[in-house]
Amino acid sequence: MKQISELVKQLHQRLQDVARPGPGRERISIPLTLQQRSSLLSWLAAQSIFPQFYWRQRDDLEEAAVCGEVVRFSDAESAHQFLVSNNVADMRIWGLNTFDQVEIPSADTPKSALFLPRIELLRDGGGEHLVVNLYSETSLAEDVCLARQSLAQLTPGKPLAAVNVKVNAVKHQPDKQGWCSLLGLALDAILNKQFEKVVLARRSTLSLDEPLNPAAFLNASEKVNHHCFHFMMRMDDSRAFLGSSPECLFLRIGNQLKTEALAGTVSGSPDNQKAKELGDWLMQDKKNQHENLLVVDDICQRLQGGTLAIDVLPAEIVRLRKVQHLRRSIHAELATADDADSLQRLQPTAAVAGLPREPARQFILHEEPFTRGWYAGSAGYLSLNQTEFAVSLRSALVEGNNIHLYAGAGIVAGSDPEQEWLEIENKAAGLRTLLELDE
């Protein structure tokens, strides 16, 4: 990306033009031409400015690599209000929301880790752009000085090396015996009509022989896990949360919102005929259809108070590398475009929590042996014109020499612990098989 260094010179001139002593906000964008499609992630990995966020949309319509923090937000409501009050149509706030938006935020994990970035490298239908965001409540000239310091730290991207680590140890929370016991408790609760469905998860901690490069790991996932949202939030040099998720929480363009019920799972197969047979079985299976329709009904009920119209599309099969899912798309016309309200209504979905949501959520909080944090929350961006969040599934938390992998399964009456264990094994394999295992 040699041309980026040339564009930085242009940005310095543009910064000089907008520097003024009073408060203000600006978004300076300069077009560029990327030489390689894989260059955004490798460019971001080379930067020393944090936090960092990477995003690649499921249909590959958009890609973003952003870094540096102008304004931080600990919840979606304050981010939404910031956008409304500043009224910059194409300004985006990027980041993560936790699974449990009701939970009291801790010092380590607030409800959200959302931020207006200092620098953005973007690719979309309008081409590629290098962007600098400016904001100050006192002096835009002072913020221009800070922006110049960030631009001075930018370095060229480097090719990402292949993932080559060895796994020294694996610890599941819960382990298989604990999983069977946990499902027993859940099935008893379902029998006693505490809830109809609960989604239980497992965290697998893999101890590695050396630190894992999160960008290289995500790059490896992008190459094989197609039709997924790819995202990465790097907090600092040693910690990152990333994933390759098949599920959209919602996409809003203007007042039009699209969401989906992605629930019901069967294993995949590299053989097309075998995969089709498994997909046909999934489409006809009463247990999986029931699970999916429960999610559809819950989404429609939760959207009711804020929509003018809702339409549910027919079921379809989503084929991924290791599993296949049942999906129904849902389109809605919003009464008011309020992304914080949409997040509150839709997250956590029945596909990651259960039904009814509150008793299922309480069961998860009290019975799961770990705190989900960012897992099964959402990753993406907010803006005035358009907002998109993916559900943070098929995800991992990288901490130095450790990587935590997450996977979950929907439990309803008749669920079999052995089959559900196999399901979470298949789901976790989407990322785990990218590592060189030595077990």
Task: Please check if 291 is assigned to a binding site.
Answer: yes
**Which residues neighbour 41 within 8 Å (Cβ) at sequence distance 6 or greater?**
54, 65, 160, 215, 218, 219, 222, 232
Q: Quick one: tokens of 118?
A: 């200092």
Interior angle at CA 419, CA 414 and CA 424, nearest 5: 120
Is residue 197 part of the annotated active site? The answer reads yes
Q: What is the CA angle 162-165-390, rounded to 5?
A: 65
Of 197, 368, 420, 427, the catalytic one is 197
**120 assigned binding-site residue:** no
Q: Report how far residue 182's alpha carbon sits from residue 186's, in angstroms, rounded to the nearest whole number.
A: 6
CA dist 164 and 167 (Å) reads: 10
Active site (annotated) includes residue 2:
no
Cβ–Cβ under 8 Å, residues 160 and 44? no
The two structure tokens encoding residue 86? 């500043």
Backbone phi and psi for residue 291, each to the nearest 5 degrees, phi listed first: -60, -40
User: 292, 326 in Cβ contact below 8 A?
Assistant: yes
Tell me if 148 sits within 8 A of 134, measured CB to CB. Answer: no
Tally of CA atoms within 13 A in the half-sphere of 55 that contains its CB: 28
Residue type (1 letter), 416: D
- Binding positions are 291, 423
- Which residues does the annotation mark as catalytic? 197, 247
- Binding positions for Mg(2+) are 291, 423
